[in-house]
Amino acid sequence: MTDCTLLEKLKSGIRLDNELVIDCHGHMGPWYNFHIPGDGTAESMVANMDLVGIQVIVASPHIAIGPDYREGNRQAVEAAQQYPDRIVPYITVNPRYPAVEIEAEISLYHDLLGGIKAFKFHSSCHGVDCAHPGYGPVYEYAQEHGLPILSHVWDGPRRDGQSFLSRQAAAYPNIAFVHAHSGNSWNTIYSLVPETRVRRNVYLDLAGSAIPYGGLEYMVREAGADRILLGTDLPFIDVRPQIGRLLAARISEHDKRLILGLNAQRLYKL
């Protein structure tokens, strides 16, 4: 069975242990209005990853995108230290805090981790958008070190048909700007796919509970599989249907493998 296709593995219930599978969009811990099995502990996260063979997840705890970004960063790094080969921490900032505090947080994890791997924005939960000047230290650090920034598709004001992050991509060409939840609706797909053609450092992630029929195939055809990343939103959403809809998509085996992990391995330097 080692030579069977990814779709055949899906139909046979074979885990993807021999494939590179990297989830670029995870969280951890409880959330106030969602049922989170196992409370989203690091142990439960890894157990869910093992259901299908996800090797690595890049995660930002819910508390980081909510009330306490510093405690969230601490929890993310603690989980990464507990599972060094399975969990990679996003460093999250709340731009409402003073710049000196945000700069200190970045410096802390730069030193502790020997360099930050990626940043996570959740501007709507923090009551701002990605145009907020408080994000400035992150943009500068990520540009210097060539890092990804994962942010939601509702990241800020659109102008001239482009999102704020896409416009930032021109100002910071060394940052990989990853739009989270890019496939959630046709309106979202139609608005974001053209941005990948304008800026080579704009990417799309698939996290979400739904994707319109034919949406992934359209994204691959129009943006290219090399611009799309697997995201599950674990522990919000069961990883199995997230993986299943990718493996069942009418795209090539090579394109599936790019999305499953090869793109994230390159962007996140894993």
Contact between 184 and 208 (Cβ < 8 Å): yes
CA distance readout (Å), 89 to 53, 133, 171, 203, 240: 19, 23, 25, 19, 22
For domain 16-267, give the CATH number: 3.20.20.140
Residue 1 has pLDDT above 50, yes or no: no
Residues 6+ apart with CB under 8 A from 181: 152, 153, 188, 205, 207, 208, 231
Q: Is the peptide bond before 235 cis (omega within 30 degrees of 0)?
A: yes
Residues 175-211: tens digit of each pLDDT: 999 999 999 999 999 999 999 999 999 999 999 888 9
Residue 62 has pLDDT above 90, yes or no: yes
Residues 126-168: tens digit of each pLDDT: 888 888 899 999 999 999 999 999 998 666 667 777 788 888 8
